[in-house]
Amino acid sequence: MKNVFVIFVVVLVATAAAKKGWKLRQRQQCKYDKSAWSDCDTKTNTVSRVLTLKSGKEGCQQTQNQTITCDRFERLQAWKIKKAESRRELQEKKHQRKERQQEMKENKQLVKEQLERCRYEHSDWSECDQATKTVTRNFTLSEGEQGCEQSHTITIACDKLNRIQAWKAKKRDRKQNRIDEKLQMKQDRKEKRKLEKEQRLKCKYDKEDWSECDNTTKHSNPSYDIKGWRRRRMRTNNKCHHFMFKV
């Protein structure tokens, strides 16, 4: 009994789905020209329009009379107007944004050109103005062609200046640290070399005779590469190394 019920439900669902699919296909296959909506018929409270088949396969209805309630029609119209309005607004905003970006780009270009043509000397930053919480810096023209501004002033928030200065100080410190480290390393190396030299001078070596020429390390040219090995051995100081010099 239970199984039969399950099959029944499955069939029902499948049928509904098939019907929906058929309707969708039908809508896609049958294209209609739509007339204007009629005026609201106050007796039936409906508006209607006629759809005439424009293109479609077999099975499409030639004409259809679409009828909806006047209320629904009004809501639909209102919704359409709203949609058109919002689309227009969006377009407008997009356009404005583009214009603003263009303007900014042009401004930047202008400033850049001016900076290239006009050179300025600047004062120190002013004290932080407690009322506006800003600092200013004056720029006066030092060299430049005609059309250069004689002077201008830049104003920024005190906080921003503090941040910039802190950042600059940090950068300066890091650079100084790197320089110091390098100097220290150089000095250490020098010290080490000096110590090594002193050590070497403390150690006296016996010299053996030169060894025979080593014929195993041949070069490609016909003559042999002559390699002699001179051995230097420590004599007095146990800390001295056993040297082998390549000649």
Ligand X SMILES: *[C@@H]1O[C@H](CO)[C@@H](O)[C@H](O)[C@H]1NC(C)=O
CA dist 46 and 38 (Å) reads 9
Q: In terms of DSSP bridges, do strands 46-55 and 63-69 run parallel, antiparallel, or are they unpaired?
A: antiparallel
Residues between 52 and 111 that touch ligand X (CB under 6 A): 65, 67
Pick from 215, 217, 236, 237 the residue near ligand X by CB under 6 A: 215
Distance CA 247, CA 229 (A): 7
Nearest residue (CB) to ligand X, 215 versus 236: 215
User: What are the backbone dihedrals phi and psi of residue 37, each rounded to the nearest 5 degrees, phi first?
Assistant: -70, 145
Number of H helices, E strands in the chain: 3, 9
Say whether residue 48 binds ligand X (CB under 6 A).
Answer: yes
Q: Which of 91, 102, 109, 123 binds ligand X (CB under 6 A)?
A: 123
213 binds ligand X (CB under 6 A): yes
Question: By the 8 A CB rule, do 69 and 45 touch?
Answer: yes
Tell whether residue 50 is a contact of ligand X (CB under 6 A). Answer: yes
Helices (H), the chain: 2-29, 70-117, 158-202
- What's the closest the beta carbon of residue 113 comes to ligand X, in angstroms? 25
Q: Which is nearer to ligand X, 125 or 205 (CB)?
A: 125
- In whole angstroms, what is the distance from residue 184 CA to residue 80 CA? 78
Phi, psi of 231 (to 5 degrees): -100, 135
CB of 154 to ligand X, least distance (A): 10
Residue 136 in contact with ligand X, rule: CB under 6 A: yes
Task: Single out the segment in contact with ligand X by CB under 6 A; choices: 81-89, 130-138, 161-169, 190-198.
Answer: 130-138
Nearer to ligand X, 123 or 150 (CB): 123
Binding interface with ligand X (CB under 6 A): 41, 46, 48, 50, 65, 67, 123, 126, 136-138, 153, 212-213, 215, 224
